[in-house]
Amino acid sequence: MRHSTPIVGQPPAGSLHQLPDDRFIDPDLMCDDENGVTLRGSRCDGCGAITFPTQSSCPRCAGTDMSAHPLPRRGTLWTFTIQRFRPKSPYDGPIEFEPYAVGYVNLADQVLVEARLSLRPDQVPRIGDEMELVFTPYTCTPDGVTVTTYAFRTVTDENGGQS
């Protein structure tokens, strides 16, 4: 069965605290902290700058001592857009294209992370919305394996946050 992209207007798939059994797009993007799986960032030992994905040197002070830094799972939507046409290769999402949302999420003023957004049906995102990390299928390989990536969705009452 072919999975569709995390479509604007389709409920998100995703588990919050552990990696799904499906193939994940790049395991190096993730790490564990005391609460489970989260995005793997890096933190400069010298100036405290945080990056995602990890870097071996600091983009702010050029220091070369960087430590692993699990990123917060929640943040606020900093900006967003909707991808309305099917991108060319190297995009490898489903041939039958459905628009998907993309945004930058501000994680505790530590770092802006670019990500797909999983939105509820007809949901219009707003800058400032509280967001949380999820995993979502984005494509299916020719041999039928679902591939997931990380994404953010808005925090709602039913999953423990504000609406």
Residues that bind another protein (CB under 8 A): 5, 25-26, 28-29, 53, 59, 78-85, 87-93, 100, 102-104, 114-116, 127, 138-139, 149
CB of 161 to another protein, least distance (A): 22
CB of 101 to another protein, least distance (A): 9
How far apart CA 15 and CA 10 sit, in angstroms, is: 16
Buried b (16+ CB within 10 A) or exposed e, 8-38: bebebbbebeeebeeebeeeeebbeeeeebb
CB of 34 to another protein, least distance (A): 26
CB of 57 to another protein, least distance (A): 11
Beta carbon nearer to another protein, 142 or 160: 142
How far apart CA 110 and CA 101 sit, in angstroms, is: 23
Beta carbon nearer to another protein, 68 or 159: 68
Residue 5 identity (one-letter amino acid): T
Beta carbon nearer to another protein, 40 or 73: 40
How far apart CA 109 and CA 113 sit, in angstroms, is: 11
